[in-house]
Structure 1
Amino acid sequence: MVEETVVEKTWRGMLEGHPMARRGDPEVIEAAYAEPRLRVLFPFPSHGALSFHRNTRFPWSGDLPFIASGLQSYTVYGPRYLGVLGEVLTPQEAAALVVAHLPRDCGPAFDGPWPPPEISAG
């Protein structure tokens, strides 16, 4: 049996509503998980937003777009709130918009703090 990665465990816990998992908008979490490029990133729901990281422990990469849930729409922001990439009506559209703005070299997330070992060693 293959052991789950930290990323896989985190997604599963959120999708299944595990009591120890972070809470977020279930529709956004499901829509993001349905996107293969987002599923390999570390998800982090907080304050009405779902962010994605290239690593699994603080400090986070913080360089990827994320989804903020509104009352009747979803806003996709650039990294660190540096601009709005779009406002859409469904979580599926929001997840697709995040994917469209991911860097080409993005994913899968590595286990550990940011920056990656090869950058911090240099």
Structure 2
Amino acid sequence: MIKELQLQQQPVGYRKRFLVRQGQRLLSIETGDISYFFTDERFSFFRTHSNQKFLVDYTLDELSDNLDPQQFFRISRSVKVTHQAVEQIQPYFGNRLSLVLHPVFDKEAIVSREKVSDFKKWMGK
């Protein structure tokens, strides 16, 4: 029982970096350099603050378990953002929110209806 309590009190170890391929070389990218994660055609990618796009070997569900929820928020099934990536928040029909991300996201970044309240709380922290 003591060991179980100790395991519960230990801080969760979130990912600090990702090893990604760029051509023939491998790069280590810090999570602090990442603006957002997204899926496209069943593949997961992230875009850095300097607008570099990298393929990752994880689904967004797996990333949700391995990324600090204080730093990353999943706004929909296909997008997970950081505070720094959100440039503007605009009302969107159906009680949803539309985000303008930086660097520019090629598709619409819409906060799903179920997540709007949690997103507002997260952005306010």
TM-score normalized by structure 2? 0.22
Which structure is larger by alpha-carbon Rg, 1 or 2? Answer: 2
Q: TM-score, normalised by structure 1?
A: 0.23
More strand by share: 2
- Higher relative contact order (Cα pairs below 8 Å, separated by 6+ residues): 1
